[in-house]
Amino acid sequence: MGRRKNFTESELLDATKKLLLDHGYDGFHLKLLSEHVPGARSTIYQYYSNKEEIVAACMKRVMAQMILRSSEVDETDAMEALRHILLIYAEESDFHRLLGDLHKINTANSAAAARDLDYVEQGHVTLKRQLMGLFDRACAEGKLRRDVPLPALIGVFFGLINVPNAMKLPSDEWSKVLFDMWLNGAGQK
C-alpha cells in the first residue's frame, strides 16, 4: 500500500478557506478539514496547533492578498481606482462575511492566532485609509455628488460587496455593473 501524499501549507489554507465559506466558522473543525486534504490529520498539526490558529492564518492570508492587490491599483484617476478596488473586494465578497466572525476566535491560548488577527485588523485600517484618500480626492475633483453626505456614499459603496451576484457574471463584469449602479443610480437617464 502506497503512502498518501501530504499537503503544503498553501493547500491547507486553500482548503480551510473553502470549508469556512461552505460551513461557516461554527461548522468548521479540524476533522472536517482532514477529510478534505490528502495525508494524515496529524500533518495539520505540523502547521497549526488548533482551529483558531488555522482560521486566523487563513484570514490573514486573504487580507494580505487584498492589501497587495489594492496597493498595486493605479490611483492616478480616483474614480477608476475605486472601480478597480471594488472588483478586488467583490472577488472576496464571500469571505468578507466571515470576517464578521473574528470575535469568535479565542486567542487566549494562541499567540500566533492573536498576531494574525492583529494583522487582519491593521489590514482593515490600511484599506480604509486608501479608500478614504480616494473618496476625498474624488470629492475634491467634483466627481461625486455633493448633495449626498460622504459617509452615505462610502456606506453604499461598501454595501455593494454584499450584493449577491444572482446573474452569475464574471467578477469583473459584476463589479462594473455594481460600480455603475453606485455611480449613476437606478433612475433612467
In this prediction, residues 125-138 reach a mean pLDDT of: 93
pLDDT tens for each residue of 27-50: 999 999 999 998 778 889 999 999
Angle (CA) 131-24-114 rounded to 5° is 65
Domain ranges of the chain: 51-184
- Cβ atoms of 62 and 92 closer than 8 Å: yes
Say what the pLDDT of residue 71 is.
96
| pLDDT exceeds cutoff 70 at 133 | yes
Higher pLDDT, 94 or 46: 46
Say what the pLDDT of residue 187 is.
72
pLDDT tens for each residue of 145-189: 888 888 888 889 988 888 988 899 998 999 999 999 998 887 766
Say what the pLDDT of residue 5 is.
56
In this prediction, residues 112-133 reach a mean pLDDT of: 94
Q: Which CATH class is domain 51-184?
A: mainly alpha
**Could you tell me which residues come within 8 angstroms of residue 120 by beta carbon, excluding any fewer than 6 positions away?**
56, 59, 60, 63, 99, 102
| pLDDT exceeds cutoff 50 at 64 | yes
Gap between the Cα atoms of 100 and 107, Å rounded: 16
